[in-house]
Amino acid sequence: MKISRTNVSDEVSAWLMSAIQEGRFKPGDKLPSVEQLADELGVGRSSVREGLRRLQALGMITLRQGSGTYVSSQKVLLGSSLTSFSEAVRQRGMRPSSVVLQREIIEPDAVVRADLRLQPGEKVNLLKRLRLADGEPLVIELSYLPLRLFPDILDGPWTLETSLYELMTQRYGYRPAYARQTVSAALLDEDQAQLLQVEAGSPCLVMVSIAYAEDDTPIESSLDVYRADRYQYSVTLVRRE
């Protein structure tokens, strides 16, 4: 295919977008080099580079230094409903799994104590996990659960497929009904980046949440660190008169 329209870089990005959406280039595929694309499309290299930059800004492709440009994997949607990581990943046809990094009973700090409305002296279960989809690490999750409500929840077995929300519901009868969330942008430190297998300083989404049961009891305070290249946040805003 040769491109001959006026706004060449727009046409390059549109062609590449169509090629990805139609399956010519699939998630994880390495794209042809700038030189190869320029020859195939009959345009200048600068137009190809600009077209690639636009797709990178949209999250459709990922530039790996020294390796090339790759089609991004499917993004997981956040914010549309209260679902567990496992549920969200299964909805997109992927297999969820997790690696437990830390699990212990601790004295909560003042923030977690306030979030969970704990009495003085009450302890919490701390569960830190690395969450994966089809074997790819996507999220670092820290969950704090009132020990009073969830005794022995940290005891095994914790398998790769264990879902915390399913365990909370099935074993203890507390189903997360709604949550209050705060989302902010940040950069991954070296330890976080190593766990998520990306470069240090890569962008991430940090979500701080408090989940409540149907009777408004706070049942989880959490801090989750999401890879920004694999997640997008979506909310519905309603105008009030």
Q: Is residue 150 pLDDT above 50, yes or no?
A: yes
Q: Say how many Å lie between the first and final Cα of the chain, rounded.
A: 52
Q: Is the pTM of this model over 0.95?
A: no
In the block, which residue shows the tokens 């074997």?
Answer: 135
Instruction: Kindly state the percentage of the chain with pLDDT values over 90.
Output: 44
Q: Quick one: pLDDT at residue 6?
A: 53
The larger pLDDT score, comparing residue 121 to residue 233, is at 121
Q: Residue 81: which region, alpha, beta or left (left: phi > 0; alpha: psi -120 to 50)?
A: beta
Please report how the helices 45-57 and 8-21 are oriented relative to each other, as an axis angle in degrees rounded to 10.
50
66-123 residue pLDDT tens: 778 888 766 665 555 566 777 777 777 778 889 999 999 999 999 999 999 999 999 9
- The per-residue pLDDT for 2 is 47
pLDDT of residue 139: 93
Query: 124 has which bridge partners?
Result: 106, 146
Look at residue 5 and tell me whether its pLDDT is greater than 80.
no
Q: Which domains does the chain have, with CATH numbers?
A: 8-71 (1.10.10.10), 76-233 (3.40.1410.10)
Position 124 pLDDT exceeds 70:
yes
pLDDT of residue 188: 93
Kindly give, in sequence order, each residue whose CB lies less than 8 Å from that of residue 120, ignoring residues fewer than 6 positions away. Answer: none
Per DSSP bridges, beta strands 76-78 and 231-233 are parallel
Q: Which residue has the higher pLDDT, 140 or 11?
A: 140
Cβ atoms of residues 165 and 139 within 8 Å:
no
Interatomic CA distance for residues 9 and 87, integer angstroms:
39
Which three-class secondary structure state does DSSP give residue 38?
Answer: helix
Are 124 and 105 contacting, i.e. CB atoms less than 8 angstroms apart? yes
Cα–Cα distance measured from residue 192 to residue 200, given in angstroms and rounded to the nearest whole number: 8
pLDDT in tens, 37-62: 999 888 889 989 888 888 877 667 87
Spatial neighbors of 6 by CB under 8 A, at least 6 apart, are none
CA pseudo-torsion sign 150, 163, 142, 194: positive
